[in-house]
Amino acid sequence: MTIRVAIAGCRGKMGSEAVKTVCNRDGLELVAALDYKHLGDSLAELEMFPSSLDVPIYTNLTQLITETKPDVLIDLTNPHSVYEHTKEALLHNVRTVVGTTGFTDNQLDELKNLAKSGKVGCIIAPNFAIGAVLMMKFAKEAAKYLPHVEIIELHHDRKLDAPSGTGKKTAQMIAEVREATKQGHEFEKETMPGARGADFEGMRIHSVRLPGLVAHQEVLFGGEGQMLTIRHDSYNRESFMDGVVYCVEKVMTLEELVYGLENIL
């Protein structure tokens, strides 16, 4: 069976890589693109894509769904749009694979209920890189024995949310096996606000934003006379594409929302 795919955010760095990947994978067909700027009737009119790529561009998701009938929507847009896109797709019984982060807890709960009530698959993956998923799994295991933890996540300077979805997800996974504990000196004081990073159940998360970076994270575990560092680096966006394709294929079998690639591997 060929899976009909639509991509939201096709002109972005992740989105354009996903366009190329979907077009080159057997069993997948790119049927539409969603873009907040309607720059032409099809992707073929954009310089960044081959002139043979006759795939229609839409600015309205409902119209896209009605006219092209995708099986799966891949959303690689931004935190301002992703919630509405995902909700709209689920309401129209279109399965969704979401790589955009920035959901609130309330939004996630609502989307989980929508997916479950409609029996529509949805995968929200803070990180599609298999190595990043393993990094999070290993960090959770290490925290059982070394509970003093700090997370440093590093991304390109165009990223809109901080901390990253991967950083937050890592902290949430660690919190499942680590008792909430304040770290550092009891009388510690920030002489410059934010110097110690975000506080998640006593763990600290630090966000670095610089040009030249793609997606990187290290988790530091401190113990008496030792430190363990678990790190993952994505040097290009191709590193995410196997995970994207896996999610597109997997979401066709789901009837609920799954948050995190580690839950379906």
| Residues noted as catalytic | 155, 159
Amino acid, res. 139: A
3-state secondary structure (DSSP) of residue 81 = coil
Which helix (H) or strand (E) covers residue 30, if one does?
strand 28-34
- Residue 62 neighbours by CB distance under 10 Å: 12
135: left (phi over 0), alpha (psi -120 to 50) or beta: alpha
For residues 168 and 102, what is the distance between their CA atoms, to the nearest angstrom? 10
* Helical H segments across the chain, by residue range: 13-24, 61-68, 82-91, 105-118, 130-143, 165-175, 241-251
Spatial strand order in the sheet of 148-155: 198-200, 203-209, 148-155, 215-223, 226-234
